[in-house]
Amino acid sequence: MNLQSLIILKPCCFGDVMFTTPLLNVLRRAYPDARIDFAVGSHARAAIEANPIIDNRIDSGKVGQGRYSLLDLFKLIRALRATHYDAIFVPDRSQVLSLIAFLSGIKIRVGLRGNFYTHRVESNVLKHEAELYLDLARAIELDTHGAAVIYTPPAADQKTVLSLLSDNKILDKPFILIHVGGGKNPGMVMSEKRWLPANFARLAMQLVREGGKPVALIGGIGDEPILDAVTGLINIPIINFGARTWGEIGALAERCELYIGNDTGATHLAVGTGARVLMIMGPSDPKRYAPYGDHQHVTYVWRGWNVPKEGVRGGAKGFSWSDGVTVEDVMITSLKMLIRGEQLAFRL
């Protein structure tokens, strides 16, 4: 299939857009000279803001991010029609996006759910979201071998982080980065995804004592109350980077020895930087939302519970961290990953 211009339409949300990057990589590999654009909402744009293989980023407006109007739909359709793309890829279950793809006048339309695609992929299957999105590439017979989540921190954020590390005297030292926040997307807050502050505090202190490396706390913009709650329970000196932008989190993640975080977009971002990552999972199903990558570098800790068949977008009724992942669970896995990292470095 000869494509000269194509676009991915994925308005929301940050972690889901990160799961789209393997598909993006496959498309660029298959069509190295094509124009490849990405239509995304303002909240998730940072996931692909500095990605060098995207030609243009199109603002999808309010569509796919909570409430939107018919005017918002027409604005997006108009933006898509303006370029006359050869193909559109929609790794999303929204039937509205299927209609938008059709009304955009694009001849080849590949998507997950809806009646307006020329190539429709079965979405009612239990598999990892990144693999499901890669099925869009497989639908047009593209090779998906080696596809990976990729995140590129903006240069300005990398520069900021160098100063931050220098100020904390760990510029040339391996350190452990713990992200304590997450669980927020446009139109939805799921605090159940957040491990308890008391657990993060105990973990941080235990890692300082037993991990042999500096430990730093971090959160996203808006996570200040959670950071305050965690630091208020810590009685030993520890680094607190505070609430940081997506790019700064990514720039710190790519320099850390181990990244630990909740089931949230920032943790998938960390995977994309090539960091060694441990995700703490609560109500979500790891078969769909675990960190996507080489098991030598990424893993998760989860104590299974009866995840609803429809997922937890409507809430996580019945879930409790009292039956979930413990500090001991995370500590044991963290030490194993640190040892594994040192063994790999020694071989190199």
Same domain, 266 and 314: yes
Same domain, 329 and 215: yes
Does residue 177 form part of some domain? yes
**For the domain that residue 186 is a member of, what is the CATH number?**
3.40.50.2000
SS (H, E, C) 111-156: ECCCCCCCEECCCCCCCCHHHHHHHHHHCCCCCCCCCCCCCCCCHH
With a cut of 80, say whether residue 339 has pLDDT above it: yes
Does residue 224 form part of some domain? yes
**Which residue, of 103, 138, 173, is where some domain finishes?**
138
pLDDT in tens, 224-246: 999 999 999 999 999 999 999 99
Same domain, 336 and 253: yes
Same domain, 120 and 162: no
Please give the average per-residue pLDDT across 284-298, as a whole number. 94
Give residue 348's pLDDT: 38
Same domain, 184 and 333: yes
Nearest to 330, CA basis, from 225, 166, 188, 203: 203
* Mean pLDDT score across all residues of the chain: 94
Does residue 228 form part of some domain? yes
Pair 307, 344: CB distance under 8 Å:
no
pLDDT in tens, 65-100: 878 899 999 999 999 999 999 999 999 999 999 999
Query: How many structural domains are present in the chain?
Result: 2
Same domain, 284 and 229: yes
What is the domain extent for residue 72?
5-138
Same domain, 51 and 170: no
Please classify residue 178 by burial: count the beta carbons closer than 10 Å to its beta carbon, then call 0-12 exposed, 13-18 middle and 19+ buried.
Answer: buried
Does residue 149 form part of some domain? no
Does residue 168 form part of some domain? yes
Length reported for the chain? 348
Does residue 144 form part of some domain? no
Give residue 183's pLDDT: 83
Pair 282, 261: CB distance under 8 Å:
no
Radius of gyration of the chain (CA): 20
Nearest to 98, CA basis, from 83, 82, 76: 76
Categorize the per-residue pLDDT at 289 as very low, low, confident or very high, splitting at 50, 70 and 90: very high
Does residue 147 form part of some domain? no
End-to-end CA distance of the chain: 41
Same domain, 168 and 133: no
Same domain, 123 and 166: no
Same domain, 124 and 188: no
DSSP state of 274: T
Same domain, 270 and 339: yes
**Which residue, of 79, 112, 138, is where some domain finishes?**
138
